[in-house]
Amino acid sequence: MASAQITDNPLLFAERPEWQDVVPLEQYEGVRPLAPIFYTPEYKDATDYFRGIVKSGEKSPRVLDLTENIIRQNPAHYSAWQYRYKTLMALNAPLDEELRLMDELAVKYLKTYQVWHHRRLLVQQTCKPAPELEFIASCLQVDAKNYHTWSYRQWLLAHFNDAALWANELEFVDRMLDADVRNNSAWHHRFFVVFQSGVRQGEEDRNDVVRRELTYVKVKISFAPNNASAWNYLRGVLDISKTPYSAFTSFVTPYCEAEPPQLDDTSTDIMDLDDPLPSQDAQLPCTAAIEFMADIHERLGGDSLRVAIDHWSSLANTHDTSRKKYWEYRIREALSNVH
């Protein structure tokens, strides 16, 4: 089925003989508009014929041409999407072809909800999720943090919940984080894959999984310490595994210093995976590390609270003055809990 590009057929629908039997309906019949819209002739023509088709309830192949024409002019015209889907169903149209068309439109209109929702509906019909993973990956090449794209991937994995679909997902997240360690969507997806989508074969030893994830995030932090997503992920893993924050004191300490540690001549290039150090060109001290160190001490309680308060003061007055009032709140809360 050839897709009807606007440029393929420059004639308005009103000029096409095969559309003569349809009665186009004007937008403003009997209505005094608050703000009359000046449409392009092409858009007015297509939507006039769309209104005519909707009124008659026609669900034929030419309706697919018409709705595609409208969607290409205005991808957010949700009525056109809805009617297109109903027409596809009524015609028992080949959905694989429709998906190929959607491949093209998704990239053009990445930030439109309808494009993704329509795709979801189609895949629920075809029940062929595997090729979608590759397609989603290619969309993310264009816009690595697109909210709809990641949401769609998550939906796909959870809805079909097929071991084969999940099999390479962690590797996929790794690749995304290798490309951009600050991609918050990728970190969020990692948490979803590892901790919020059931236990898959090979991951039954949860302690092992937690150890693996903690090592992973430490390495990523050492590579780029000023990365909020990584520190949020660390907290998420510690919280879900109920690991005490204090287990991380030796790791966090060098990140709170003003300079990276001076390595002596006997140091090797092998990274200490237990406590990977900040890279030599890291911007230190790392604000998130100071925040974390404060949390460690707050949780220890007793005399450690004073250390926490010192850290919060340094944040309020020097390292993170935008959020001064927040840090002062933490100090007040801690002082009121001292007894």
Partner 1 sequence: MADSHRTDELLIPLHVRYIQNLGKSTDELAYHMTAHLRMNAIYWGLTALCIMGHQDALDREETIDFVMSCWDEEAGGFGAHPDHDAHILSTLSAIQILVTQDALDRLDVDRVVKCKLILSLQQPSGVFAGDSFGETDTRFLYCAVNALSLLGRLSELDVERTVSYIRQCRNYDGGFGATAGAESHAAQVFVCVAALAILDSLDEVDHQTLCWWLSERQLPNGGLNGRPEKLEDVCYSFWVLSALSILNKITWIDADKLVSFILSAQDPELGGIADRPGDMADVFHTVFGVAGLSLLGYPGLVDLDPVYCMPASIIEARGLRKGWKSLPRRAE
* The binder of partner 1 chosen from 196, 250, 317, 318 (CB under 8 A): 196
Query: With binding defined as CB under 8 A, does residue 188 bind partner 1?
Result: yes
For partner 1, which stretch binds (CB under 8 A), given 1-9, 103-111, 144-152, 245-253? 144-152
Kindly write out the interface string for residues 20-59 of this chain, putting x where it contacts partner 1 by CB under 8 A and - elsewhere.
-----x-xx--xxxxxxxxxx--xx------x--------
Q: Which of 113, 209, 275, 276 binds partner 1 (CB under 8 A)?
A: 113
Under DSSP, is residue 60 helix (H, G, I), strand (E, B) or coil?
Answer: coil
Catalytic residue among 55, 111, 128, 324: 111
Under DSSP, the state recorded for 278 is P
* Cα angle for residues 73, 76, 81 (degrees, 5° grid): 90
Whether the CB-CB separation of 324 and 316 falls below 8 Å is answered with yes
Q: Are 231 and 285 in contact (CB under 8 A)?
A: no
| Per-residue binder mask for partner 1 (CB under 8 A), 284-313, x = binder | ------------------------------
Radius of gyration of the chain (CA): 28
Q: Which is nearer to partner 1, 39 or 277 (CB)?
A: 39
Amino acid at 317: N
Considering only residues 3, 151, 304, 313, which one is a binding residue for partner 1 as defined by CB under 8 A? 151
- Give yes or no for residue 212 binding partner 1 (CB under 8 A): no
CA distance 284 to 255: 7
Q: Which of 4, 59, 79, 319 binds partner 1 (CB under 8 A)?
A: 79
78 binds partner 1 (CB under 8 A): yes
Residue 285: asked if its preceding bond is cis (omega within 30°), the reply is yes
Region from 13-21, 89-97, 224-232, 274-282 binding partner 1, contact rule CB under 8 A: 224-232
Region binding partner 1 by CB under 8 A among candidate stretches 145-153, 246-254, 259-267, 302-310: 145-153
Least distance from partner 1 to the Cβ atom of residue 172, Å: 16
Among 3, 74, 126, 304, binds partner 1 (CB under 8 A): 74
Give the shortest CB-163-to-partner 1 separation in angstroms. Answer: 19
Binding to partner 1 (CB under 8 A) within 257-276 occurs at none
Shortest Å distance, C-beta 60 to partner 1 = 20
Residue 185 makes contact with partner 1 by CB under 8 A = yes
Stretch that binds partner 1, among 2-10, 167-175, 304-312, 319-327 (CB under 8 A): 319-327
Q: Which two tokens stand for residue 300?
A: 């220890």
How many Cβ atoms are within 10 Å of 52's Cβ, its own excluded?
19
Q: Shortest gap between Cβ of 184 and partner 1 (angstroms)?
A: 4
Q: Minimum CB separation from partner 1 for residue 58, in Å?
A: 17
DSSP H stretches of helix in the chain? 41-56, 61-73, 78-91, 95-108, 113-126, 130-142, 147-160, 163-166, 169-179, 184-195, 206-223, 228-241, 249-252, 287-300, 304-314, 324-336
What interhelical angle do 287-300 and 324-336 show, nearest 10? 10
Tokens of 219: 């390495």
Using CB atoms within 10 Å of the CB of residue 178, give its burial: 0 to 12 exposed, 13 to 18 middle, 19+ buried: exposed
- In 3D space, the residue among 12, 79, 19 whose CA is nearest the CA of residue 41 turns out to be 12
Token pair 């969507």 in the structure block, residue: 185
111 is catalytic: yes
Is the separation of the CB atoms in 33 and 98 below 8 Å?
A: no
For helices 324-336 and 304-314, what crossing angle results, to 10°? 160
Q: Which residues are catalytic?
A: 111
Q: Which residues bind partner 1 (CB under 8 A)?
A: 25, 27-28, 31-40, 43-44, 51, 73-74, 76-79, 81-82, 85, 113-114, 117, 121, 145, 147, 150-151, 154-155, 158, 182-185, 188-189, 191-192, 196, 227-229, 232, 235-236, 239-240, 321-326, 329
